[in-house]
Amino acid sequence: MPGNPVILEKNGAVATITLNSPKKMNALSTSVVNVLAGVIADVERDGSIRALLLRGEGRMFSCGGDIEEMVAAGDALSTLVDDELRVAESMIPQFASLPFPVVCAVQGAVAGGRRRSRACLGL
């Protein structure tokens, strides 16, 4: 699944969400943030899940926002950031309301991804 920026795997009652863009240090572009929010919603609806692990592939959990996307946005940067933040901020209560433990495996540096990692039960 090298092309998928967010991977959901299930092993019994444990779901693992992996940020899977190691060459981009798991940067959180608009599309990645939207896919991640959808994957979390899928996990929430799955009645068989009893625990969730959130992790980043490669040497770091997440460098935060996708700088390339921000530069490319030009004059629309403030709209891009507002939209991304709205979706990203909605994930914090989404994690907190899950009826099972959420553990975040953080390796290396963490920048903008720290809010999502702090929403987890254990680091």
Q: Report the helix count and the strand count for the chain, using DSSP H and E.
A: 4, 4
Q: The domain that contains 94 carries what CATH number?
A: 3.90.226.10
In a domain, residue 95? The reply is yes
Q: What is the pLDDT of residues 14-68, one digit of tens each?
A: 999 999 999 999 998 888 988 998 999 999 999 999 999 999 999 989 888 888 8
pTM value is 0.83
CA atoms within 13 A on the CB side of 97: 9
Q: What are residue 76's phi and psi, to 5 degrees?
A: -90, 10
Q: Can you give the pLDDT at residue 122?
A: 47
In a domain, residue 70? The reply is yes
Distances from the Cα of 91 to the Cαs of 3, 31, 59, in angstroms? Answer: 23, 14, 23
In a domain, residue 1? The reply is no
The residue range of the domain holding 54 is 6-118
**Per DSSP, what are the bridge partners of residue 53?**
16, 103
Higher model confidence: residue 2 or residue 17? Answer: 17
Q: Can you give the pLDDT at residue 20?
A: 97
Domain count across the chain: 1
Residue type, 43: V
In a domain, residue 123? The reply is no
